[in-house]
């Protein structure tokens, strides 16, 4: 996969997350505000997961995220979307060196959205992303 194609997929993932946050939570990803950032427990969890990512423990971070999701609390989906947005900001070399191809970000978004009943919405937004390339 070429650099331009990787950048394109990165932008598609970003726009998908941005759209999901707007449609579901009525928040703008750029402002980093909303329920998640108003309650310290969620912000602290996100920070801890981001620290694992920075340390190259991406798989562990995702396992902690997905294993700890409470599907009865929509803020948990917001947490997951911000987690994948942060991960998507990493360059492909970083992701590949830690054995986490970008396509896993898209798969994680689909999985998280599906757990909260937004699977069809995520699928339709991510329809253009070819994960088999």
Residue 34 lies in a domain: yes
d(CA 54, CA 128): 29
Q: What is the DSSP letter of 77?
A: H
Query: Percent of the chain scored above 90 by pLDDT?
Result: 67
Residue 133 lies in a domain: no
108 three-state secondary structure:
helix
d(CA 104, CA 14): 14
13-34 average pLDDT score: 87
Residue 130 lies in a domain: no
pLDDT 10s digits, 74-130: 899 999 999 999 999 999 899 999 999 988 999 999 999 999 999 999 999 888 665
Domain limits for position 97: 3-125
d(CA 94, CA 43): 24
Confirm if 69 and 113 have CB atoms less than 8 A apart: no
How many domains does the chain fold into?
A: 1
């Amino acid at each position: 996969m070429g650099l331009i194609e990787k950048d394109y997929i990165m932008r598609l993932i970003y726009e998908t997350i941005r759209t999901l946050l707007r449609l579901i939570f009525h928040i703008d990803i750029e402002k980093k505000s909303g329920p998640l950032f108003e309650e310290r427990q969620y912000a602290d969890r996100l920070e801890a997961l981001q620290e694992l990512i920075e340390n190259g423990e991406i798989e562990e971070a995702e396992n902690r995220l997905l294993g700890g999701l409470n599907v009865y609390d929509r803020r948990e989906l917001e947490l997951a979307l911000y987690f994948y947005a942060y991960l998507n900001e990493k360059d492909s070399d970083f992701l590949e060196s830690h054995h986490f191809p970008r396509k896993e970000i898209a798969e994680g978004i689909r999985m998280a959205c599906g757990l909260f009943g937004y699977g069809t919405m995520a699928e339709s937004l991510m329809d253009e992303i070819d994960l088999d390339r």
